[in-house]
Amino acid sequence: MAKQQNWIAPSILSADFAQLGKDVKDVLTAGADIVHFDVMDNHYVPNLTIGPLVCESLKKFMVREGLSAPIDVHLMVKPVDRLIGDFASAGADIITFHPEASEHIDRSLQLIKAAGCKAGLVFNPGTSLSYLEHVMDKIDMILIMSVNPGFGGQAFIPQALEKLRAARKLIDESGREIRLEIDGGVKADNIAEVAAAGCDTFVSGSGLFGNVNPNDPNRYDTIIKQMRAELAKV
């Protein structure tokens, strides 16, 4: 299956949570495609973030504001299954989880699909893609971590490029419509090489939300235009 249209996915982990709705509205208005929603539990990863309540409020806000972008929930939690229904009810469109965090990967994928969401697996820098072998038919997204999960603002681990190429090959061979997403340390200056490795969905947290004037409604325009220009070169 050919590469899908490029999606820029702001990670709201780097947004200002005191004005989350405003930040999401402004970044989507500036041209971002989906909202990347990082859920951390202080157990699977050493950090604690946001849960289904925030997802629900954000979804309601987005509907009110006419913002139709999908919410891409990245679960960094263990156990996984308990939260799937909660996030589906809270308006998640895509739910991804780390295979090491689930006792029964196929069951977790089935739960996500049965709840009406797109499903995906997430691969840490040290995790093998072999988890995909028997579940490709249930996967809508493969997320390659280019940092170890838990924090925004970390440096991109270059070995992720090789893993992207390997995942791209698996997707092409499967003939299925599967998105290939990257997460961690993606900025305007490396997004082109990430795209060249086969990625079509680009999470960026600090690269997008960092260093902008919080009161300027057009504060994300320049950086998103820059990212699109870089993507156009590939």
**Site for ligand DX5 (CB under 6 A): which residue of 23, 38, 41, 72?**
38
Alpha helical stretches, state H, 39-190: 52-64, 81-89, 105-114, 160-174
Q: Smallest gap, in angstroms, from Cβ of residue 230 to ligand DX5?
A: 15
Which is closer to ligand DX5, CB of 174 or CB of 207? 207
Binding mask 109-148 for ligand DX5 (x = CB under 6 A): --------------------------------------x-
Other beta carbons within 10 angstroms of residue 96's beta carbon come to 26
Distance CA 22, CA 25 (A): 5
Whether 106 is a known active-site residue: answer no
Q: Decide: is 52 part of the binding site for ligand DX5 (CB under 6 A).
A: no
Alpha helices, DSSP H only, in 76-139?
A: 81-89, 105-114
> Catalytic pick from 38, 41, 93, 200?
38
Instruction: State the Cα angle at 93 between 138 and 191, rounded to 5°.
Output: 85
Structure tokens belonging to residue 210: 């960092």
Instruction: Give the active site residues.
Output: 38, 183
Which stretches of the chain bind ligand DX5, using CB under 6 A?
11, 13-14, 36, 38, 74, 147, 149-150, 152-154, 183-186, 203-207
